[in-house]
Homo-oligomer: A and B are copies of this chain.
Amino acid sequence: MNSFDKISVKEIVDEVSDGCLLGIPADYSGVPMQFTKELIKKGIKNLRLYCLPLTTIQGDMLIGSGCVSEIEAAAVTLGEFGLASRFSEAIEQNILLMKDSTCPALHAQLQATEKSVPFMPLRGVIGSDIQKHRKDWCIIPNPMNSSGIKDEPILLLPAVQLDIFVFHAACSDRNGNIQIGRRRELATLAHASKKVFVTVEKIIDEDFFENELSAATCLPALYVDGIAVAKNGAWPCALPGAYKADNNEIKNYSIAAKTKDGFNQYMKLLLSK
């Protein structure tokens, strides 16, 4: 028996159900764009996106394609290429529920699940309109005497468990260990997800655990339910340590996506490739 399950991108897509809570990596941690294209082709509906902590073209494309009913994020943006127009328009037209958050809260909610505790405390945030609109967050008087400030209110954030998390990485070893390098937020996302699938540029015939230093760069196979090879699978996004973003393509997208029609034409071409 192999020590991991090698599957296809389509088989990963089959694991995503309408309405599920899908983990979305930031643009610096391996965006699974090939998977995203297949997901849009499938016509998935009512996805709830949990972004750690933001999304760029991946989230905007899913929203523009009508796949998303809800999104929790600290930002949705095309970065230097401006606003994520499909996202902004969906909010302005009131057809998308946005759970506005802030980066450390998105990390902490997953860390709560990582530790199987019902909540995590967080400093800051109190007094912001983010906090005022989050009915799933609560504020309690600090029960810990040793904290120093009198009558300090403490914000508690609920543990969030993802249904499924998919990301793209440079490689796995022959045992299914995934090289993530410094992108340790990918480990947090994996720990907090019921199912985890990874697309990789290649599978290498090595054992990353044979060496303490290469072991340190891995997400262990035990968290991964299946691996698919997807050459250039983050395109047009960057894959840290492997290739840079295709800025021309993202710019083209950002221009096309300014209107619904432009977006539809862009996507038609993209999905037919």
A interface residues with partner B (beta carbon < 8 Å): 104, 108, 115-123, 136, 138, 140, 142-148, 152, 154, 156, 158-159, 179-182, 212-217, 240-241
A134 to chain B, nearest CB (A): 12
7 pairs across A/B with beta carbons < 8 Å? A104-B115, A115-B123, A140-B143, A144-B156, A146-B158, A213-B217, A216-B216
- Chain B residues within 8 Å of A104, by CB: 115
Cross-chain contact B182 with A212 (CB below 8 angstroms): yes
A211 to chain B, nearest CB (A): 8
Known: A118-B148, A213-B241. 9 other contacts (CB 8 A): A116-B123, A119-B121, A120-B121, A140-B143, A181-B213, A181-B216, A182-B215, A213-B214, A216-B217
Cross-chain contact B147 with A143 (CB below 8 angstroms): no
- Chain B residues within 8 Å of A147, by CB: 118-119, 158-159
Most buried by B among A122, A140, A144, A154: A144
A201 to chain B, nearest CB (A): 14
Most buried by B among A136, A143, A159: A143
Q: Which of B117, B136, B138, B215 contacts A181 (CB 8 A)?
A: B215
- Chain B residues within 8 Å of A122, by CB: 115, 117
- Chain B residues within 8 Å of A144, by CB: 118-119, 138, 156, 158-159
A243 to chain B, nearest CB (A): 13
Chain B: CB-nearest residue to A121 = B117
**Cα(A152)–Cα(B119), bound, Å:** 13
Most buried by B among A104, A116, A213, A241: A213
Cross-chain contact B123 with A146 (CB below 8 angstroms): no
**Cα(A181)–Cα(B117), bound, Å:** 28
A222 to chain B, nearest CB (A): 15
Most buried by B among A146, A181, A216: A216
